[in-house]
Structures are given as structure tokens and as C-alpha cells.
Structure 1
Amino acid sequence: MLRAGVVAVLALAMGGCAGGVHLKNPIKIKHHRVTRSTMQLPPSDITTIGVNAYLWRASLDALSFMPLVQADQAGGVIATDWYANPQNPAERMKVTVAILDKDLRSDALRVTAARQVSQGGGWVDAPVEAATVQRLEDVILTKARTLRQATLIK
């Protein structure tokens, strides 16, 4: 259900973004293969990975439908490759999530996105609405809080 919400948020973002954030120089990242087994972090790893494990797991879950190019647990950076919604292949989006702290706080999460549209046989940079990035941050934070609550109840 969460994945469907993120897909909907990104689909809305890719379907007619007008103003907002425009990233001409997205963060440079090193590329390496990420396996889905990387996503299986027990809550006890909260202090061993360098960042908040709930934010880490929630971010991986929220971005699981996009191809990952980097997932650096020690540095707290998750970066996706370009993703085009099959219903709108003329637009594509790339997302980078940075987890900045070991605490589960809203200011411990930074999401950036880049968007391109197909034009004249090539891809051209296009703006991303700030609200789109904010919605994705909200999805990740909500999922992280849910994961934390589930751990506390057990």
C-alpha cells in the first residue's frame, strides 16, 4: 500500500510539474549493484549502520520500485537511477535520499529529485515541484514511525 502511494506521488510529480525545485547538478554518486537483501536490516542495527535504521528501511521500501544505483549504509545515502512511469514514458525521475542522523527526526532526512522530459529525441531537464519532494519525505517518515512503533510493541 505504501509502495502504491509513492508510485502515485511520483506519477503526479512526473505528470506536469510546473514550478519548484530544479536540479541542474544532481549529487554525483558512485555506482555499484545493490541487491534486495541489503533491504533486510533488523531494528537492532539501529546503531551499527551509522544512520537511523527505521529511516533507512523506510527509504529503501519507499523507493523499492525504482532501480537503485547506490545504497551506502555508513553514509546514509540511497540513490536511484532514472525511472519512467510506464503510463508516461516521456518523463523520468531520479531520487536521492540522505539520512543525516541516528535519531528518528524529520530533519534527519533530506530527499532531492531530478526530473527530465523527452524532447526532440533526447532528455531535457525539467523542474520538480517542491511539494513532490515533501510528499515523498512524508511517506518515508510515516513508514519509519510505523516500523518503530511495531518494534516497540513486540
Structure 2
Amino acid sequence: MTSACLLAGLVALGGCGLFKGGESNYPSQEGTGPTNPNPTGERQTIFGEGGIKLFGSGDDAKQTGGIGVNSFLWRASLDTISFMPLASADPFGGVIITDWYQDPKTPGERFKLTVYIMDRRLRADGVKVAVFRQKADAKSGWIDAPTDVSTGPKIENAILVRARQLRINSDEAGDIKK
């Protein structure tokens, strides 16, 4: 038992570099840091050459808004389903998930939506909506129920109409500024 512990200790110390004279194999950090910025004077970041754009800037801001998907489709999706509580919204992946919504007019059923924005361009096939429906059951609680196949496309069309409105308003606002 003690020889096993001794062997394990030697292996651990060997991994620390104790038997190599204690020298480190790390790259040199000389000439860097806050008191010695990089010699080229260029800004170096982990996010790449342009950094990270949260709200967009420059020519591509009008199209993408600095997010991973089309900003008009993103905003239109949020506007269209604003009556439902949000569970999750990922502007970089283009996924919006609502929580269950129960219309006061129909207390025996509830709906949940998942909106997928699939393009950086404003296109008719750039948005997809999945609709989930449940009905109340006295014995089982909420059980899954089929939805009308036209519900998803109707919501997609409403999102596209709103996105076009936002795009037109954006273009008009740009003309006024010029």
C-alpha cells in the first residue's frame, strides 16, 4: 500500500516538473501587458478582426443588426408573438421559444410557439413557426392535441408582413435623414 502511494507521489511530482529543474515550458510574456502594449499598436481581441457587434455598425447593420439573423425578421417575430410570454430568445441562433399561452376565451386549451429565423436576408422562406397545442383533460391534466396545419403558415405570413413594414419604415427613415 505504501509503495503504491509512493509511486503515485513520484508520478505526480514528475508531472509538476520537479525532476527537470523546475523550469516552465510556458511561452514568454515579455513585452506584453498593460504597461507594454503590443509593438504593432493594432488591437488584438479574441473576437477577431472586427470585434463583436451587438447592435451593428457600418453597412451591414441595416441588413443584420449585428445579430446572427435578419434584424427585420427578428423584430417582426417578437412583435407578432408579443402577446405570448417568452421562455427563451436567442438572437444569434435565431430561435424564439414562448411559454404556454392560454387564451381567456378558450380556457380548455393552450398554445406554445417556436419561431426559427433561418436566414440573414429578408426572404419569404427565412422564417419557420412550429405550433404546439394542449387540451385540458380532467383525468390527465394537459394532453397534447393536434393543431390546424394552417396555423404555422398564418403566423409566418403575419411575421413576414410585419418585417416588410419594418423594412419600409427603415428605408423611409433613412431617406428623411439624407
**TM more than 0.5:** yes
Partner of 2:162: 143
The structure with more helix, counted as a fraction of residues: 1
- The answer to whether 1:76 aligns with 2:94 is yes
Q: Contact between 2:74 and 2:117, CA under 8 Å: does it hold in 1?
A: yes
Q: How much has 1:48 moved relative to structure 2? A: 1.1
Partner of 2:30: none
- The answer to whether 1:109 aligns with 2:127 is yes
Secondary structure at 1:148 match in 2: helix
Q: How much has 1:44 moved relative to structure 2? A: 4.0
Instruction: Supply the distance in 1 between the matched residues of 2:63 and 2:123 (Cα, whole angstroms).
Output: 17
Structure 2 spans left out of the alignment, 5+ residues: 1-54, 174-178
> Residue 77 of structure 2 is aligned with which of 33, 38, 59?
59
Partner of 1:92: 110
TM-score with structure 2 length normalisation?
0.61
Partner of 1:123: 142
Instruction: Supply the distance in 1 between the matched residues of 2:70 and 2:166 (Cα, whole angstroms).
Output: 12
Residues 39-54 of structure 1: pairs in structure 2 closer than 5 A:
44=62, 46-54=64-72
Instruction: Supply the distance in 1 between the matched residues of 2:152 and 2:130 (Cα, whole angstroms).
Output: 7
Q: Contact between 1:47 and 1:102, CA under 8 Å: does it hold in 2?
A: no
Instruction: Supply the distance in 2 between the matched residues of 1:82 and 1:53 (Cα, whole angstroms).
Output: 25
The CA deviation string for residues 79-111 of structure 1, in whole angstroms up to 9 with x for no partner, is 000000011111000000000110000111110
Larger Rg computed on CA atoms: 2
For 1:60, the aligned partner's letter is L
Instruction: Supply the distance in 2 between the matched residues of 1:72 and 1:98 (Cα, whole angstroms).
Output: 10
Q: How much has 1:45 moved relative to structure 2? A: 7.2
Structure 1 spans left out of the alignment, 5+ residues: 1-40
| 4+ runs deviating over 3 angstroms | 41-45
Secondary structure at 1:103 match in 2: coil
Instruction: Supply the distance in 1 between the matched residues of 2:63 and 2:84 (Cα, whole angstroms).
Output: 24
For 2:129, the aligned partner's letter is V
TM-score with structure 1 length normalisation?
0.70
Instruction: Supply the distance in 2 between the matched residues of 1:70 and 1:61 (Cα, whole angstroms).
Output: 15
Q: Contact between 2:63 and 2:121, CA under 8 Å: does it hold in 1?
A: no
Instruction: Supply the distance in 1 between the matched residues of 2:78 and 2:108 (Cα, whole angstroms).
Output: 25
Instruction: Supply the distance in 1 between the matched residues of 2:65 and 2:71 (Cα, whole angstroms).
Output: 8
Structural RMSD (CA): 1.6
Secondary structure at 1:151 match in 2: helix
